[in-house]
Amino acid sequence: MRVLIIKTSSLGDVIHALPVLSYLHAVSPGIVIDWVVEEAFLSMVQHNPLISKIHTVRTKAWRKKPFSGETRDQVRQLCRNLRERHYDLAFDLQGNLKSGLIGMLSCAPVRIGFSREAVQEKLNLLFTTQQVAFAPEDRHVAERYLRIVSAPFGSNIGNAQTATDIVSSAEDEAAAEHFLTAFSGGKLLLFQVGTTWSTKLWHAEGWIELARLVLERYPAAKILINWGSPDEKALGEEIIQAAGSRVSLLPWLKIKELVPVIRRVDLVIGGDTGPLYLAAAVGTPTLSFYRATDATRYAPRGECHMSLQAPMECAGCLRTSCERDAECRASITVDKLFPAVVHLLSDSSCERKPL
């Protein structure tokens, strides 16, 4: 059987979809799986031995110049590449217009996707031949993706693995190993201070207090701060100025360069954002907090992952801006997070394993 997975973006959502690979190989030995992904997130699926072929798309660039010769040539090439694979099934795990069109272009006779209640864009329903309704227990997004791909097999997803690995190149692994030699000798934590929505962020005072408590409790520990924008870099510099020289900014890293770094730290702390899910995917313990989004739907699960939902009555509102934003940020308190840090760093089953 030859199948196509259409999951183009975003970073966190592509990571949440990765468990479908091991599930499909388990229920259909010998299956051939291809994947369609945005070029920006290629490193999430590149080098994965469970994927036969990867089709990259550049939909943002195509929308900006829909009638350019370059766009037409790239879309035509994508059509040829999809059709020559002769897919039996296509699983649309994106649920919008662009993924529906990609599914149609694949010429797969069976195209399975979200039900009307769950689909992102209703036009997507025009392009799927079967829509899958979720069970009441399908709260987590990874379970929802597994529910869709289980539809042709009638298999129970209750015991399916909801974690997987991200495979890095040998060059990126070696570069991370060399870079982190300067931080050896104690616990190594990574603060993921940034994310896409302001309503997912924490405040500088919280990060500073948490850093001070960690460094006081663990005298040999060091903290790295990952950043992806000037504002995030400025926040990192503010934390360093207040907490001291055992806190360092990472250099600006591409996603593929960040993965092997995250693989080597002892704990990643952050909100609802892609790098946190990178950590969970590669087996690094995580501590996460949720404000505008729902921890039960997105938070990494397992003994080495802990999460905190804002105690506001409106938590999980999915708003990208809010007049109560400062109050909501303050509701995530250090006295709730720090004991979780101690627990995760003390749990022998969560210790960093030799690579």
Rounded to an integer, the average pLDDT of 206-230 is 97
**Residue 32: exposed, middle, or buried by beta-carbon count in 10 A (0-12, 13-18, 19+)?**
middle
- Asked if the bond preceding 22 is cis, omega within 30° of 0, the reply is no
One-letter amino acid for residue 310 of the chain:
A
* The predicted structure's pLDDT at residue 202: 97
Domain coordinates of the chain in residue numbers? 2-150, 170-350
CATH fold match for the domains 2-150 and 170-350: yes
- Please write the tens of the pLDDT for every residue from 78-122: 999 999 999 999 999 999 999 999 999 999 999 999 999 999 999
pLDDT of residue 154: 81
- pLDDT tens digit sequence for 220-259: 999 999 999 999 999 999 999 999 999 999 999 999 999 9
Residue pLDDT, tens place only, 181-190 = 999 999 999 9
36-89 pLDDT, tens per residue? 999 999 999 999 999 999 999 999 999 999 899 999 999 999 999 999 999 999
The CATH class given to the 2-150 domain equals alpha beta
**pLDDT score at 164:** 73
Angle at 105 between CA 140 and CA 165, to 5 degrees: 35
Q: What would the two tokens of residue 68 be?
A: 């350019």
Report the pLDDT value the prediction gives residue 155, as an integer from 0 to 100: 67
29-33, 259-263, 351-355: least confident range: 351-355
pTM, two decimal places: 0.89
- Is residue 87 within 8 A of residue 102, CB to CB? The reply is no
Domain 170-350: which topology?
Answer: Rossmann fold (3.40.50)
Listed in sequence order, the residues at least 6 apart from 69 whose beta carbon sits closer than 8 Å to its beta carbon are: none
